[in-house]
Amino acid sequence: MILLDLKKIDMACSSCGTKKTQTGQVQGCQNNGSCGTSGCNKVNQFDWLSHLEIPDPTPFPFVEVKFKGGRKGYYRNEQGIDLQIGDYVVVEALRGYHIGMVSLRGELVRLQMKKLKLNTQDANLTEIWRMAQARDMEKFAESRRRELPTLYRSRQVVIELNLNMKISDVEFQADGTKATFYYSADHRVDFRELIKCLGMEFRVRIEMRQINVRQESARIGGIGSCGRELCCSTWLADLKNIEPIIARYQNLSINAQKVTGQCGRLKCCLNYELDTYLDALHDIPQVPNEELTTGLGIARLQKTDIFKKILWFSYQFEGDGDWYPLTAEQVTQALQWQKEGLIIPSLQADEWGLLENAVSNKNESGLNQKKEKSLNRNTRRQTDSQEYE
């Protein structure tokens, strides 16, 4: 290998190659290759990518692991195990281990942890031990088989202790040393005696975890009235409160059997089209007290078709008789005439012609009166100016 002393190499251009120090070394122009003549760098190229950061080729050292009931956790992959989505792994748990399925990996895990405000330096984030082997899966299946008998027996114990709570699900740890009981209750429950009874009954560590009715439906699952699997048990992770006014915006009858889901609360799907309904409501006029005055009597608003922009009215003296459709523009015009002291003859828009002619004549007469007043005012001003002169 030939080593070159760059300090002793003469520069290519004469302007900087002749400058030397006291020791005889070439001083150079100190422009670091950006001299104006380009004499030092023949056929040089500009680095257009110098300001871009090179992505880190190492994979993100965390993976998302999914457990029973849609519960997810984030674990370190410090051993660099080549994991794919769907692989079963053995993860560290409190005084034991658990088995879960890899549901997400790579940069998406980084974004999820950022969204959930999880710090990668948090010591509570445990690590993945290994890929699940056949013996691990056999023990895991044995723990899962214990869950259903344990659920039935725990409900009997709750009834015996006369506790006002409902145990909806049981999850055993893969090593069979711990059982988590998911329950729902309207009020605070003292379950210390229950924990003692369950511990003596099943010989495992007991953890009680309270969930609300929406989370209970998400864990149990089921089929909705639409014929599909429940949104909360498949893809919907953010369970929001649904207010009754949302059903009113969509002109839905407040019928508990139609607008409530399996959890007993208003359906989450009522929120899906809410923005579309709110945008369409901007073009629908607000009828005061849902009543419109006509020449035949008071007409009451019965139904509003938001997207077709049609409002249906019926006369009070007819009860629930015939309904008469009016467009949003016609209702807006009728309300405007009502403010001006004019009353539409009936709910038949074909009979509004005489009223429209009367309004137009009234507007024309009012305009003529304004013109006459303006003309008279100008005439008086001219007369006054002539008398003054």
Identify whether 28 is part of a domain.
Answer: no
pLDDT at position 374 over 60: no
pLDDT at position 360 over 70: no
Q: Please check whether residues 205 and 168 belong to one and the same domain.
A: yes
| Strand positions, DSSP E, 157-309 | 166-172, 178-184, 205-210, 291-294, 297-305
pLDDT (tens digit per residue) in 39-93: 555 555 566 766 777 666 778 899 999 999 888 999 999 888 989 999 999 999 9
Identify whether 107 is part of a domain.
Answer: yes
Q: Please check whether residues 84 and 172 belong to one and the same domain.
A: no
Q: Please check whether residues 196 and 243 belong to one and the same domain.
A: no
Q: Please check whether residues 309 and 388 belong to one and the same domain.
A: yes
Residue 300, both tokens: 């009451």
The answer to whether the CB of 194 falls within 8 A of the CB of 167 is: no
Identify whether 49 is part of a domain.
Answer: no
| Last residue within a domain, chosen from 234, 259, 278 | 278
Q: Please check whether residues 386 and 292 belong to one and the same domain.
A: yes
pLDDT (tens digit per residue) in 126-159: 999 999 999 999 999 999 999 999 999 999 999 9
Identify whether 12 is part of a domain.
Answer: no
Identify whether 17 is part of a domain.
Answer: no
Q: Residue 71 in 3-state DSSP? A: coil
Q: Residue 296 in 3-state DSSP? A: coil
| Last residue within a domain, chosen from 85, 110, 132 | 132
Q: Residue 76 in 3-state DSSP? A: strand
For 225, left (φ over 0), alpha (ψ -120 to 50), or beta? alpha
Strands 178-184 and 205-210: parallel
pLDDT for 382 equals 59
The answer to whether the CB of 151 falls within 8 A of the CB of 166 is: no
The number of distinct structural domains making up the chain is 4
Q: What is the CATH number of the domain that holds 198?
A: 3.30.300.20
Q: Please check whether residues 251 and 302 belong to one and the same domain.
A: no
Q: Please check whether residues 231 and 300 belong to one and the same domain.
A: no
Report how far residue 71's alpha carbon sits from residue 62's, in angstroms, rounded to the nearest whole number.
Answer: 17
Q: Please check whether residues 330 and 349 belong to one and the same domain.
A: yes
Of residues 112 and 380, more confidence is placed in 112
The answer to whether the CB of 326 falls within 8 A of the CB of 334 is: yes
Identify whether 32 is part of a domain.
Answer: no
Identify whether 31 is part of a domain.
Answer: no
Report how far residue 291's alpha carbon sits from residue 329's, in angstroms, rounded to the nearest whole number.
Answer: 16
Q: Which domain holds residue 187?
A: 142-211
Q: Please check whether residues 304 and 328 belong to one and the same domain.
A: yes
- Least-confidence region, from 9-13, 16-20, 118-122, 266-270: 9-13
344 CB-near residues (< 8 Å, 6+ apart): 292, 293, 294, 295, 334, 337, 338, 352, 355
Long-range pairs for 224-229: beta carbons < 8 A, 24 or more residues apart: 224/261, 224/262, 224/267, 225/258, 226/269
Residue for token digits 């039935």?
Answer: 152
Terminal-to-terminal C-alpha distance of the chain: 115
Of residues 124 and 143, more confidence is placed in 143
| Last residue within a domain, chosen from 233, 262, 278 | 278
Report how far residue 3's alpha carbon sits from residue 24's, in angstroms, rounded to the nearest whole number.
Answer: 20
Q: Please check whether residues 233 and 181 belong to one and the same domain.
A: no
Q: Please check whether residues 248 and 341 belong to one and the same domain.
A: no
Q: Please check whether residues 252 and 157 belong to one and the same domain.
A: no
Report how far residue 11's alpha carbon sits from residue 366's, in angstroms, rounded to the nearest whole number.
Answer: 95
Report how far residue 128's alpha carbon sits from residue 77's, in angstroms, rounded to the nearest whole number.
Answer: 6
Mean pLDDT (the chain, rounded)? 80
State the pLDDT confidence band at 99, using cuts at 50, 70 and 90.
very high
Distance, CA of 354 to chain centre: 53
Identify whether 151 is part of a domain.
Answer: yes
The answer to whether the CB of 233 falls within 8 A of the CB of 239 is: no
Tell me the pTM.
0.65
| Strand positions, DSSP E, 197-274 | 205-210
pLDDT for 146 equals 93
pLDDT at position 388 over 60: no
Of residues 122 and 2, more confidence is placed in 122
The answer to whether the CB of 351 falls within 8 A of the CB of 345 is: yes
pLDDT (tens digit per residue) in 169-212: 999 999 999 999 999 998 888 888 999 999 999 999 999 999 98
State the pLDDT confidence band at 20, using cuts at 50, 70 and 90.
low
pLDDT at position 383 over 60: no
